[in-house]
Structure 1
């Protein structure tokens, strides 16, 4: 195996024996082979569009399958192997349809023609042709850009899949996913071509995030400021982690009146602000963080646990019997619940003891999406003009277990009293329960939502730039970002597509970015690594 798609890559270079995330080498190899098959499928999807052959099942499947290869989504080699078989079968079927329509189906690339081995062992051996560094003849800088594109496409696929689940899609997104994957089989593209594709990926990701935003807000309403208890109350309980709002909504409906309280974990915290979710009285509070103490939190939780998407460490220990997965998520030995039927989860929750007494902890505020923030835009603008607010900081991104992430806690704690902190994604669990007070009645710490809500944060920045009649880069706004997995890569590409500069990124830079590619990012966007909170605040505020 060789994997360096996430921030925890071993030694900052890549995992070669077993993933730091817990991914086994066979799973890693099979994921490489799945992506290889998707490249072949995409070759024919691109050719098909030229002659009017567009297969919706292929569109949806490509995003689902690519999403399954994200960090911490699926560690089940049987399911990955099944996706690979389906990808090859779809590839061959689509090739026939394209040929029948008079399209070009002659491809010299092995991804378009290879015959899949029938056994698991054969497939694992076959993956040698598909690894990230299988072709040693590729220029390192071009390979770096290819991998930035691939990992960005994984993020796009994740957002597109989330959006599709809620009935939102756009063929332009599917078109680029196929074009991007197919381009990864080409050897005739230069550095400028790859830079263009990488920035195009950011543009398409913006559209994918917009679709997801429309799906979430159109189905469950725009988030509103909501206090969420961090304690618990006596009774049976189910903990929901991940990102998927639809799974949560269906679970709330199926548990209504059954005496089970629903708690959120990690990225599900912001869901308490959605009107169509918060209306359920048994949707109670939030339990735990995201990464720092996840295993201990899961082991101590006295109810059933539902994992809905990625960004969740591999379950370990006896408590795994209490864990259920849904959608694309899968681990060997963990029960998967298909088709939104949560009866097994509910049954397990009723069997477990639940909380034996009430515990009144802190409360935190969520629900500061773009509608909420822009509803008080006049107050914000006046506060800036009157110098009550000096600066905005968007401290956002992924959490992770690697040392160095205390930077973000310390940074927020040291932000001056005349500054506002906007935050989103699971990185906020380093500081989400800090009481930073208010400015002119506005909270100094505003939770914009999940990483899936990055679109909302972008719209806030665009709206403020219009209100002040300046470009986004001229706003009193600084982006302090943390990254872990591939949705973060896609979001960063979106920010670069929008021309946003002076982004500070950490806790370490991606292993797949070569010095020359980093030099391009620095020269064109002044992207920079984080240093220390004191040094960065001094550089930003003077």
Structure 2
């Protein structure tokens, strides 16, 4: 086993026995083998497009299978066995169709002829023998760039899948995914080519996030500023974690009139601001903080817990029976709600548990400052900047995590001067989301843009402000202070770089998969830098 795709990777180099995320060596091998099998499928899909063969089922499966390998998504070996078998079955079926259309189905790459073992143990052995990461390239710098792209594609696949669930697809996104997975079977590319491949991943991801934004806002309306209770209401309860708005909507519909209150956890917090979700009277409040605290917070939740998309950790025995998964999330011996989305088992479990025995008031937090809301007051923001009431904007957000050093982000926000605005998104905000920072001219100083999925909104806000001030984004009084943990953060960073955005500060540590030479390329071209030892140092450098 060797895995270094997340920020918390062991000793800052790589997990070799068991993942810090809880991933066992066997699952790591199966994920590598699934990635290998998807490469074989992609080789055929690329040839198919050359002769006009495009299989929508193959496109969707490819995104889902790649997403399943993202950190904290699927830990269930049986599910990976099924993924791998399906990848090979689709590959062989597609070969037949492509050949009939006059396309090439003779490949030198072994991925296109891979035959999976019949047992999970056999599959694990095949995956272990791949040594997937080291096999990407013998040159460590080229391997580093290929890893950046592999991990970026995992984030891209996640956003493409989120969007497709809401009916938003674009063939160019799937075309890029297939072409890149196929290209990663080969060696001999030069450094500039691979830098371009990584930046292209970011460029395509902007399209995927645009599709997702259209799906979310087109289905549920544009977010509006909404106070969300942090306390609890007496009664039965279900907690929803992950990112999926569609799953939440289905659960809200299925629980109407059953005396169950629905709470959000983690990145589901911004769901309270969507008009078509907040209309449900039993959609009550938010419970807990970021994903890494679930082992402390979930034992105290007296109801059922539903995971959508990702961010699951090993459930402790004290609450494991209360946990359910759906979509791509999986954990061994945890009840999974399949494609039919019948949440009856979740509902029955919630009804069987005690629920909250009394009302608790813990105040509220504001969410719902997507691009539509912020740009709706753009004239006030622009006037405040011109009048010097607003000196600077900080985008402080990204993934949260348990690794020491993340208190930097709390302290940074606390130390930002009162004449500066803070935009935030993703679960990194839980380091400071309940801070009372006041307002500037009636506009809250702390604006929650939404989930990591809503990075598109933040980008559109920056682009609109640059247009209003007739300058480039890099010339705005705007600084990005980002935290990262997994591969969605990797692809968002690639998106920002593809847009030419410079001077990003990244932490709490730099990715283990970036070599010194590749880091130098990023520094020279984009002035990317690690966060300083203290927030005061960075604030002094930025504000002078």
Q: Within 5 A, what are the aligned runs for 1:85-164? A: 85-135=85-135, 138-164=138-164
Q: Within 5 A, what are the aligned runs for 1:312-331? A: 312-331=312-331
Q: CA deviation at 1:137?
A: 5.8
1:229 matches 2:229: yes
- The CA distance in 2 between the partners of 1:46 and 1:249, in whole Å, is 36
Q: CA deviation at 1:208?
A: 0.3
TM-score (norm: length of structure 1): 0.99
Partner SS, residue 324 of structure 2: strand
Check conservation: 2:136, 2:185, Cα contact below 8 A. Answer: no
Partner SS, residue 199 of structure 1: helix
- Which residue in 1 is equivalent to 2:189? 189
- The CA distance in 2 between the partners of 1:329 and 1:23, in whole Å, is 13
- The CA distance in 2 between the partners of 1:244 and 1:291, in whole Å, is 15
Check conservation: 1:230, 1:360, Cα contact below 8 A. Answer: yes
Unaligned 5+ runs, structure 2: none
Q: CA deviation at 1:267?
A: 0.2
CA gap 1:106/1:371 in 2 versus in 1, 3 angstroms? same
Q: CA deviation at 1:96?
A: 1.7
- The CA distance in 1 between the partners of 2:277 and 2:154, in whole Å, is 28
- Which residue in 2 is equivalent to 1:417? 418
Check conservation: 2:136, 2:184, Cα contact below 8 A. Answer: no
- The CA distance in 1 between the partners of 2:380 and 2:227, in whole Å, is 22
Partner SS, residue 210 of structure 1: helix
Q: Within 5 A, what are the aligned runs for 1:209-228? A: 209-228=209-228
- Which residue in 1 is equivalent to 2:52? 52
- The CA distance in 1 between the partners of 2:491 and 2:466, in whole Å, is 23
CA gap 1:5/1:292 in 2 versus in 1, 3 angstroms? closer
- Which residue in 1 is equivalent to 2:441? 440
Check conservation: 1:72, 1:314, Cα contact below 8 A. Answer: no
1:29-60 residue CA offsets vs partner (Å, 9 max, x unmatched): 00000000000100010011001111111000
Check conservation: 1:505, 1:529, Cα contact below 8 A. Answer: yes
- Which residue in 2 is equivalent to 1:486? 487
Check conservation: 1:302, 1:355, Cα contact below 8 A. Answer: yes
- Which residue in 1 is equivalent to 2:350? 349
Partner SS, residue 480 of structure 2: strand
Q: CA deviation at 1:350?
A: 0.4
Q: CA deviation at 1:317?
A: 2.3
- The CA distance in 1 between the partners of 2:425 and 2:353, in whole Å, is 33
| RMSD after superposition | 0.9
Q: CA deviation at 1:129?
A: 4.3
1:39 matches 2:39: yes
Partner SS, residue 446 of structure 1: strand
CA gap 1:136/1:422 in 2 versus in 1, 3 angstroms? closer
TM-score (norm: length of structure 2): 0.99
Alignment size in residue pairs: 542
- Which residue in 2 is equivalent to 1:382? 383
1:500-523 residue CA offsets vs partner (Å, 9 max, x unmatched): 000000000000000000000000
Check conservation: 2:220, 2:275, Cα contact below 8 A. Answer: yes
- The CA distance in 2 between the partners of 1:359 and 1:173, in whole Å, is 46
- Which residue in 2 is equivalent to 1:535? 537
Q: Within 5 A, what are the aligned runs for 1:229-268? A: 229-268=229-268
Partner SS, residue 508 of structure 1: coil
Partner SS, residue 393 of structure 1: strand
CA gap 1:522/1:60 in 2 versus in 1, 3 angstroms? same
